[in-house]
Amino acid sequence: MFLANRVDKQTDARTFVSFAREYWLPARYLEGGHPKIEKPQALWQKIWNANRIQIALFALMLIVAAATYSQRDRLVRRADRKHKLWVRGPQYALWVIGVVLVGFGLMAQPSITQVLTWFHSLIFQWNWELFLSDPFIFIFWWFTIITLLIWGRGLFCGWLCPFGSLSELLYRAAGAIGLARFQFKLPQPVHDKLKWLKYVIFFGLLGVSFLSMSTAEKLAEVEPFKTTFLVGVLHRAWPYGLYVAVLLGLSIFIERPFCKYLCPLGAGLAIPTTFRLFGLKRKQECQTCAACAVGCGSQSIDAQGRIDQRECMLCLDCMILYYDASACPPLSQERKRRTKAGEPLTAIGSDGYYTPSVRRPIPHTLADAGSATEATAGKKS
């Protein structure tokens, strides 16, 4: 420990600063050499060691999720507009795991408060032990950051977020039990205005945090995560429980209303999504075709057929249509034309179009066929 002080020449006030660093004199100056000192294990190390198996399984689940999504092209090719098991199967499995095991079990729900803490740590003082104290959140965040820069926020928000998964499962279950006729989307102009609300909330919380972190944490209750997973509805005051009930109630009729309009965490992740490496595929005809936009639950496809990747939850419905020869209008038209002309239906390429057909000319008359046979025989002789 080194203690230094500085004197203010105007006020004669002394300011003391200590610099803590381990230092030992060389062993030759110590009688008997250096003493053996067993340092206590850091708290975060104890937590990681105590949860080794759970951490390994959690990491494996994230790896499987990323590996599954990386094969999205193969999955959507196996599916079609009416049969989406190859895509929906992995999604439902991850949604259930996200709610039951990650949310309620491990309580590993990322939050905007952690984002605010990161901002402050980067600016003021970084403390690894603070972030390592919760291994599941730590791993989840690194996974989210990496996949965010590769595919965008949709893998986390659309496939893995515990509250988003709960909201999605409620919407799907309601549709399955006969409430589909009551489910609806907000008009696109209204949606296009409301989606900016979450960005206002995000920047508002970030600004308030520099004035008062405690106030920002209170305002961050706009996220229902703490009430839903961390503390529990029954252990909080009734306004918090009512807020969660309203959000989940709306989720029965509107797909992911909190995610689309209120989530500051989603807004914070949407901004760097702009710089992702890979996006979803589009065709030239998508500029005038609205087939994919009709089924887009996140309403992230505009009138020109462009996908706003910042809003996209990567449900992959549009990618299923992309390769579906019966549902994608350009493919459907080409299929009908080829069938009428007697041309073969070749495989659909990665660009979403039939590959060019190469075929030998077919004689139109028996005389032509005979001539062709004689010419072939003549060449052989």
pLDDT at position 30: 76
Q: Are 282 and 304 in contact (CB under 8 A)?
A: no
Alpha-carbon gap, residue 15 to 10, rounded angstroms: 13
Residues 305-343: pLDDT tens digits? Answer: 999 999 999 999 999 999 999 999 999 999 999 999 999
Q: In sequence order, what DSSP letters do the residues of 270-307 get, joined into one string?
A: HHHHTT-S------GGGGT--HHHHT-TT--B-TTS-B
Buried b or exposed e, range 123-155, using 16+ CB within 10 angstroms: eeeeeeeebbebbbbbebbebbeebbeebbbbb
Q: Please determine, for residue 170, whether its predicted confidence score (pLDDT) is greater than 50.
A: yes
Q: Which residue has the higher pLDDT, 303 or 363?
A: 303
SS (H, E, C) 335-347: HHHHHHHCCCCCC
Domains of the chain by residue range: 53-279
pLDDT bucket at 16, cuts 50 / 70 / 90: low
- Is the predicted pLDDT of residue 56 greater than 70, yes or no? yes
DSSP 96-150: HHIIIIIIIIS-----HHHHHHHHHHHHT---HHHHHTSHHHHHHHHHHHHHHHH
Element (H, E) at 91: helix 85-97
Q: Predicted confidence band at 13 (pLDDT cuts at 50, 70, 90)?
A: confident
Query: What percent helix, strand, coil does the chain show, rounded to 5?
Result: 60, 5, 35
pTM: 0.85
Residue with tokens 């599916």: 79
Give me the chain's average pLDDT, please: 89
pLDDT band at 381 (very low <50, low <70, confident <90, very high): very low
100-148 confidence digits (pLDDT tens): 999 999 999 999 999 999 999 988 888 889 899 999 999 999 999 999 9
